Amino acid sequence: MTKHRVIFAFLFLLAAMPGGRALALERAEVPEKYKWNTADLYADDAAWEKKKEEVAAAIPRLAAYQGKLGLSAGGLYAALEDLMALFQDLNRLQVYAGMRSDEDTRVGRARQMNQAASDLGTKVYSATAYLDPEIIAIGKEKMAGFLLAEPRLKPYVPWLANILRWAPHTLSAAEEKIAAQAGLMAGAPENAHSAFTNADLPYPTVKLSSGKEVRLDAQAYTQYRAAPDAGDRKKVFRAFWSKYSEFETTLGTTLNALVNTHIFYRDVHKFDSCLEASLFGSNIPVAVYRQLVADVNENLPTLHRYLKLRQRILGLEKIGYEDLYSPLVKEAELSYTPEEARDLVLKAAAPLGPQYTADLKRSFDERWVDFMPTTGKKPGAYSTGVYAVHPYQLQNFTGIYEEVSTLAHESGHSMHSLLSARHQPYITSDYKTFVAEVASTLNEDLLFRYLLSRTSDKAVKLSLLGTRLDGLRLNLFRQTLFAEFELRMHELAEAGEPLTGEKLTGLYRGLLKKYYGDAEGVCAVDDLYGIEWAYIPHFYSGFYVYQYATSAMAASLLADRILAENAAGPATDRRDAYLKLLSSGSAKEPIDLLKDVGVDMTTSEPFKAAMKEMNTIMDEMEKLL
């Protein structure tokens, strides 16, 4: 989304340095009210260590169920209850360790905890590798008899059905154990990328036109790429990406290693492609992914229309890729404190009902959110759920509007996790990303509409409309560019071509120039910016980002319907159907969950609706101008 330069009210959270330079404070200097309360998970690290040893000691007990799952319905139920309890403990251990590491990636002890939790997970999953093959061996017919004989198995029905769906891609117990043990290596590329870019990469320092010196780490780059001065923006971009380019070979090696793990998984589990292997878990047809890429490529003129409008508003002779994050309307500088951001997110979520907003307020009051950027903290933002506890959020909040929107986004994830855990047993409490990003993106949409409906100021209205447009640009076009890059680099590797850093940069550069109309003179893309792929951590998640685009489409349709119903009153059918989706976890397939609320993602209709919204907003902005 478009960033807005701010005069941040929380200057006490920055340590002023000679010459006007500011550096983020150490974590210990941040007030407790802005830190997440990890004591809800474990009282301290010692308690975590104790539980870790208990889980490790229980691994032999897990292995003892091997060969017995198909003997009786009662035996299957007892085994699953024991196994799931231990999986739940493991999840809590891993979340706590990950959060500790993310607080300060420089701390060796926290990294060791995170690695120990990951290793423990590999051991647990290796010891239980027999689980899926034995359930598959039971077969549909015998399993139906088990379900009749043991009613307590009912909560496991969706999970068991999903395992049986995997039959063609599941190996023998011994082979699955080897594949699980390979998981020790599968996380290495992502871990190496994260450690290098967060802790070891020597970020550059630039001097802005104001005389201020800025060290361009990930958080500072995100802030200063929105500088109001075009020269500063170009300076920030060139310094940041030049530094990444120095490590093109190293970062290309890590991403190539990641793709090789995907090819290994594809081959071992007998899929036709890495894409099919990735989408199979959520039961999403490959055609949905490819249709998205095709739809976006066919609608690049809509993106180009917006880029020309942005150029006009900014008064630029020519627009460049480095101009995409600057504020559209300088008179509409928007600045927020964490408290103001929380209040806005709560008010915007009101159409989702009083219980939803009460739960959301509780998340803020009880410190489920870690707000402030600090030295060494993991950049970006996320929400992670913990069954029978509550979700947690990591933020890096500096007060710009985009980060208020990010708070709304991650709060959508958190409430999804909370409602799912409240209404589902552990085995179906998790949900697929395909619907997860609907929950988050819808909250962003509600925030935008709330603010827009409460201003008559032309500058602010233009700014909000521009922000919404750039949000659609990011979610629909930029994320699909990422998705196409992932698809093309996997196809190259599957054809036997090595993925060097240079080759990845060339592939990414070509897509940037195509999407942003470089050859047509729409938006100039410097060749240097082809290294941007090395900065995107989502590529290490594997065919993940396309769901931001599909979710943006679904969320826009749902927001329209919920707000229309709320305005008409007193019916709450659409809202209640949406809340039911949030409460359903994985009890149904994600495609079917969306169909239940009237959104069919197997068609191009949601994308067409999103394009209509983009063009309608541009029409309104042109009238205001």
First to last CA, the chain: 20
Angstrom distance (rounded) from CA 74 to CA 65: 13
Question: For the chain, what's the residue count?
Answer: 625
Task: Yes or no: say if 509 and 166 are a contact pair by the CB < 8 Å rule.
Answer: no
Report, as ranges of residue numbers, the positions in the chain whose pLDDT lies below 70.
1-24, 329-333
Query: In angstroms, how far is CA 294 from the centroid of its own chain?
Result: 23
Angstrom distance (rounded) from CA 174 to CA 126: 10
The pLDDT value given to residue 585: 97
The pair of three-digit structure tokens given for residue 591, joined into one six-digit string: 């495609």
Q: Is 465 left (phi over 0), alpha (psi -120 to 50) or beta?
A: alpha
Radius of gyration from C-alpha coordinates of the chain: 25
Exposed / middle / buried, residue 141 (Cβ in 10 Å: 0-12, 13-18, 19+): exposed
Angstrom distance (rounded) from CA 99 to CA 618: 41
Q: How many CA atoms are closer than 13 Å to the CA of 523, on its beta-carbon side?
A: 26
List the domains of the chain with CATH numbers. 34-186 (1.20.140.70)
Which residues are designated catalytic? 410
DSSP 8-state code for residue 377: P
Task: Yes or no: say if 405 and 444 are a contact pair by the CB < 8 Å rule.
Answer: yes
The pair of three-digit structure tokens given for residue 185, joined into one six-digit string: 């290596």
E runs forming strands in 51-174: none
Which residue in this structure is represented by tokens 């809800």? 40
The pair of three-digit structure tokens given for residue 440, joined into one six-digit string: 């988050």
Angstrom distance (rounded) from CA 275 to CA 545: 13
In 3D space, the residue among 533, 479, 536, 491 whose CA is nearest the CA of residue 510 turns out to be 533
Query: In angstroms, how far is CA 481 from the centroid of its own chain?
Result: 16
Q: In degrees, to the nearest 5, what angle opens at C-alpha 511 toward C-alphas 508 and 513?
A: 110
Does a cis peptide bond (omega within 30 degrees of 0) precede residue 570?
yes
Task: Yes or no: say if 9 and 338 are a contact pair by the CB < 8 Å rule.
Answer: no
SS3 state at 29:
helix
Angstrom distance (rounded) from CA 506 to CA 517: 16
In 3D space, the residue among 607, 598, 610, 511 whose CA is nearest the CA of residue 292 turns out to be 607
10 Å Cβ neighbour count for 83? 19
Cα-Cα-Cα-Cα torsion 191, 545, 590, 359, nearest 10 degrees, comes to 80
The pair of three-digit structure tokens given for residue 487, joined into one six-digit string: 């698809």
> pTM of the prediction?
0.80
DSSP 317-347: SS-BGGGTTS-S-GGG-----HHHHHHHHHH
Q: To 10 degrees, what angle do helices 401-423 and 458-472 make?
A: 60
Task: Yes or no: say if 443 and 341 are a contact pair by the CB < 8 Å rule.
Answer: no
The pair of three-digit structure tokens given for residue 152, joined into one six-digit string: 């307590």
Beta-sheet pairing, 392-394 with 369-370: parallel
The pair of three-digit structure tokens given for residue 512, joined into one six-digit string: 């940037």
Cβ-based neighbours of 564, under 8 Å, separated by 6 or more = none
Which residue in this structure is represented by tokens 């999804």? 416
Exposed / middle / buried, residue 280 (Cβ in 10 Å: 0-12, 13-18, 19+): middle
- Please give the C-alpha separations between residue 376 and each of 146, 173, 295, 373, 539, in angstroms, as whole numbers: 52, 42, 40, 9, 22
Angstrom distance (rounded) from CA 462 to CA 597: 32
The pLDDT value given to residue 21: 32
Any alpha helices (H) in 104-130, and if so which ranges?
A: 108-127
- Please give the C-alpha separations between residue 608 and each of 287, 326, 473, 514, 615, in angstroms, as whole numbers: 17, 28, 14, 21, 11
The pLDDT value given to residue 176: 79
Q: Is 427 left (phi over 0), alpha (psi -120 to 50) or beta?
A: alpha
Task: Yes or no: say if 312 and 528 are a contact pair by the CB < 8 Å rule.
Answer: no
Angstrom distance (rounded) from CA 35 to CA 292: 39
SS3 state at 496:
coil
Q: How many CA atoms are closer than 13 Å to the CA of 178, on its beta-carbon side?
A: 9
Q: Is the dihedral of CA 578, 434, 591, 90 positive or negative?
A: negative
